[in-house]
Structure 1
Amino acid sequence: MSKPLGYYTSYTPGEDLLLERVQRKYGSGFEKITKREKLVILTVLASNIGCQLEGDCRAEIFAIAKDMTSQLSLSDQAGIIESLIAQMRWGQNAEPVHHP
């Protein structure tokens, strides 16, 4: 992360909150956390957000995701993650799918 945590969140330096403690312990850009640890945090946060959203997930999406893990390079997989985060964060989303 090239920018500090406050760039991506509502965190303001000097606040004694979780983000203050995280930044103090792991660095303002999570530089003291390994890639594996960053992916664990990403997985947990993504699962939490996903469980709170309405709608179902089509089976084909699970199949596509599985194909991506087996057919794309790690760099391309990381690129997909970056793309999805940007789309999710800035509102480029389809309507929820509701299956009868």
Structure 2
Amino acid sequence: MSKPLGYYTSYTPDEDSLLEKLQEEYGSAFEKISKREKLSILMILASNLGCQIEGGVRGEIYAVAKEMTDKLSPSDQAGIMEALVSQIRWGQNAEPVHHT
């Protein structure tokens, strides 16, 4: 069972916010949103956050991501997504390695 929205966000009950509205409409753990819809939201939010960060993306990262989609099970892909979200949220970011 998933934790409620307030566990992951600044949401507090009765605050009349977007988070309150989302919880009322889609459930405290987004149980009224399908897996496909959740992945779409994740993709959109990730794209938005990525556009707010300066710098580029090394070409090899696109190749690695393509290899992941081709060779990893859906469960392992979701596990990598969970690991990346945790690292992005809690600051476990490495500087890119530049191979010469």
> Which bin holds the TM-score, normalised by the shorter protein?
over 0.9
* CA distance in structure 2 between the partners assigned to 1:44 and 1:91 by the alignment: 21
> What count of residue pairs does the alignment treat as equivalent?
98
RMSD of the TM alignment (CA)? 1.6
TM-score by length of 2: 0.92
* CA distance in structure 1 between the partners assigned to 2:71 and 2:8 by the alignment: 31
Assess if the C-alpha contact under 8 Å between 1:11 and 1:20 holds in 2.
Answer: yes
Aligned identity (percent) is 72
Q: Which has the higher contact order (CA 8 A, sep 6+)?
A: 1
Q: Give the aligned partner of residue 74 of structure 1.
A: 74
TM-score by length of 1: 0.92
Q: Give the aligned partner of residue 9 of structure 2.
A: 9
Assess if the C-alpha contact under 8 Å between 1:56 and 1:96 holds in 2.
Answer: no
* CA distance in structure 2 between the partners assigned to 1:60 and 1:95 by the alignment: 15
State the 1:95 CA deviation: 3.0
State the 1:80 CA deviation: 0.4
Question: C-alpha offsets along residues 37-73 of structure 1, whole Å, 9 cap, x if unaligned?
Answer: 0000000000000000111100000000001001000
* CA distance in structure 2 between the partners assigned to 1:96 and 1:76 by the alignment: 23
- Can you give the 5+ residue segments of structure 2 that lack an aligned partner in the other structure? none
- Can you give the 5+ residue segments of structure 1 that lack an aligned partner in the other structure? none
Q: After TM superposition, which residue ranges in structure 1, 4 or more long, deviate above 2 angstroms?
A: none
Q: Give the aligned partner of residue 57 of structure 2.
A: 57
